């Protein structure tokens, strides 16, 4: 990794390098109000050397929340808080996109206005758990209700409104969260979408809502180079599955490519030591569909080591790699990659909630080496 010709550290178009920061939920926003704050601004500023920061998943409306203290993008106070973040990242020469999030059924009524039920493609309860207060203890989700057909355009409008707010907050672009069992994924996969209207059943119908969102977000941003989309085609999180992920996500990728999106970002695995053997067939098929249709970049994600990332980019598998957990204790990750480490190990106990501990307390390489 010490070579100045390192593929991983080389630029990709307008990005400084190919070491990107994946969205990481940290639950440090100010409560009540789910407002981004000074601590978050420091956290992102410390990581501005990323080729692109994809900021943590951010609910687009009060009904889009599913976890305690996740920052939103649906109030003026939240926009002002995010402006602190983007200004600090830009002051260090960084670029930052905001991930637009609706959790759907992965929620609890305590987190929602007037203790409402979560909404989804279905009325089947999610088998995952969530945390609803500062204790970060996990609770069963609340049974959801299926969205009425005439409610879905309103959710699309919430994505539009959030995109306007993201632009006002100074973000360089947005990423649509279509992965990891959340609302758009709940419509995409036939294992959880049991609808009988025009948003369920056939593949065309199941993709209708996600592609409506993507088209509306691109039109709102005004330039597809400011829009990405995240998927997790082989994830079988709890009860969220698809009978033919290659066909489903290739078709979705084709539709996204036709919109000329800046990138498609895929969670390939959670654990590279147990890599699903389907990855070698499914991911290239999806990427080909995306790029053949006019999409720009493919971003790999999923427990990559720097060496694996270098190989993946060099082979043409992906155009950049979005690292997640390595960024948590290594805020200057590209510099550490260039120097072959050293790398700190993250501590899961500090991932969610709390203050500076496990969040902003890590000295960069040049400071650590002088201590």
| Distance from C-alpha of 356 to C-alpha of 351, rounded to nearest angstrom | 11
Say if residue 351 is exposed, middle or buried (CB neighbours under 10 Å; 0-12, 13-18, 19+): middle
Tokens, residue 28: 């440090």
User: What DSSP string describes 25-47?
Assistant: -----BTTTTB--HHHHHHHHHT
User: What DSSP string describes 187-248?
Assistant: HH-TTT----STTSSSHHHHHHHHHHHHHHHHHHHS-GGGEEEEE-TT---TT---S-HHHH
Answer yes or no: are the C-beta atoms of 145 and 172 closer than 8 Å: no
Alpha-carbon distance values, 370 to 263, 342, 357, 365, 366 (Å): 39, 14, 21, 9, 7
Answer yes or no: are the C-beta atoms of 270 and 238 closer than 8 Å: no
Residues with Cβ < 8 Å from 80, sequence gap 6 or more?
35, 169
Tokens, residue 213: 């969102």
Count other Cβ atoms within 10 Å, centred on residue 248.
Answer: 21
Given the residues 43, 182, 298, 359, the one annotated as active site: 182
Answer yes or no: are the C-beta atoms of 235 and 270 closer than 8 Å: yes
CA 66 to chain centre: 15
| Phi, then psi, of 253 in degrees rounded to 5 | -60, -40
Answer yes or no: are the C-beta atoms of 309 and 8 closer than 8 Å: yes
Q: Is 182 noted as a catalytic residue in this protein?
A: yes
Tokens, residue 43: 């956290």
| Distance from C-alpha of 183 to C-alpha of 209, rounded to nearest angstrom | 10
Answer yes or no: are the C-beta atoms of 305 and 275 closer than 8 Å: no
Tell me which residues are annotated as active site.
182
């Amino acid at each position: 990794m010490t070579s100045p010709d390192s593929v991983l550290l080389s630029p990709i178009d307008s990005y400084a390098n190919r070491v990107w920061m994946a969205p990481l939920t940290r639950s440090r926003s100010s409560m009540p109000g789910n407002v981004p704050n000074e601590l978050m601004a420091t956290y992102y500023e410390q990581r501005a050397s990323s080729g692109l920061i994809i900021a943590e998943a951010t609910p687009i409306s009060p009904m889009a929340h599913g976890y305690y203290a996740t920052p939103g993008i649906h109030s003026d106070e939240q926009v002002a808080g995010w402006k602190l973040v983007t200004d600090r990242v830009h002051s260090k020469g960084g670029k930052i996109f905001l991930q637009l999030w609706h959790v759907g059924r992965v929620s609890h009524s305590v987190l929602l206005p007037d203790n409402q039920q979560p909404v989804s493609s279905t009325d089947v309860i999610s088998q995952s758990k969530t945390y609803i207060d500062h204790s970060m203890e996990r609770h069963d989700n609340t049974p959801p209700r299926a969205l009425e057909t005439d409610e879905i355009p309103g959710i699309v409008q919430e994505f539009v409104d959030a995109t306007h707010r993201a632009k006002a907050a100074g973000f360089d672009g947005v990423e649509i969260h279509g992965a990891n069992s959340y609302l758009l994924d709940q419509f995409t996969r036939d294992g959880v979408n049991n609808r009988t209207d025009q948003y369920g059943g056939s593949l065309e119908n199941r993709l209708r809502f996600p592609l409506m969102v993507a088209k509306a977000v691109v039109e709102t941003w005004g330039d597809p180079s400011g829009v990405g989309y995240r998927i997790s085609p082989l994830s079988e999180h709890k009860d969220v599955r698809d009978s033919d992920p290659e066909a489903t996500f290739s078709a979705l990728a084709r539709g996204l490519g036709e919109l000329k999106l800046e990138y498609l970002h895929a969670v390939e695995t959670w654990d590279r030591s147990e890599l699903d053997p389907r990855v070698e067939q499914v991911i290239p098929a999806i990427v080909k569909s995306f790029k053949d249709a006019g999409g720009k970049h493919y971003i790999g994600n999923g427990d990559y080591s720097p060496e694996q990332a270098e190989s993946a980019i060099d082979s043409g598998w992906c155009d950049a790699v979005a690292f997640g957990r390595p960024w948590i204790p290594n805020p200057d990750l590209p510099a550490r990659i260039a120097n072959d480490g050293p790398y700190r190990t993250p501590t899961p106990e500090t991932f969610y909630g709390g203050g500076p501990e496990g969040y902003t307390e890590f000295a960069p390489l040049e400071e650590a080496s002088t201590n």
